[in-house]
Amino acid sequence: MYIVIAGNIGSGKTTLTHMLARHYGWTPHLESVQANPYLDDYYKDMKRWSLNLETFFLKERFRDLLKIKQSAATIIQDRSIFEGVYIFAANNHDMGNMSDRDFDTFMGLFQSMMLVSQKPDLMVYLKASVSHLVDNIHKRGRDYEQNMQLDYLRNLNQRYDDFVQNRYRGKTLTIEVDDIDFLHNRKDFASVITLIDKSLNEIEYKNDNKLCI
């Protein structure tokens, strides 16, 4: 089985990925943000470096998908290739940071990759307000994130909501995280587990019915 934890910058994806991997015994697959050599340059000059940044992320996420496809273990992944394309790259294009020509080339590459890739069995979307995201971003103290514009986070939030509600065709579970603390509060984490267990049971029930047909 293949599960993705989706959500905006600072929503708690990596933390929850680690916690669920320990709880269920799943294999975590984490996004290597620090390894992107364009990240610092991108936050200084988005228009110059957006295509480089997004292409590097696309390459890394596609390589991850190929590894996941070959694995017999249950994988839980911190952010999917679909978010990178339909939210972050699309946002850069609409903000004018990526030209139409570059974006068309980028999307053509992505669509070719999808011919040999798979959707996750479950996408868990951590929905958070901009103020909640900003608090978490400040707490973790990454230098390149500290001057991030509120409009940028707000645009990403709107894109996430539209993507999960209207565009993505796979199975999703939305968890609103503003008023919970699954890291420090056991009851909050237990409530998250209950929701995920319910979704997993629905997936197994659907798969069992397919086998019986």
Cite the active site residues.
78
Beta-bridge partner residues of 127? 176
Q: Which residue has the tokens 């707000």?
A: 154
Angle, helix 13-24 to helix 186-212, in steps of 10 degrees: 70
Q: How far is 53 from 46, CA to CA, in rounded Å?
A: 9
Q: CB burial class (10 A; 0-12, 13-18, 19+) of residue 38? A: middle
- Coil, strand or helix: which one is 125? strand
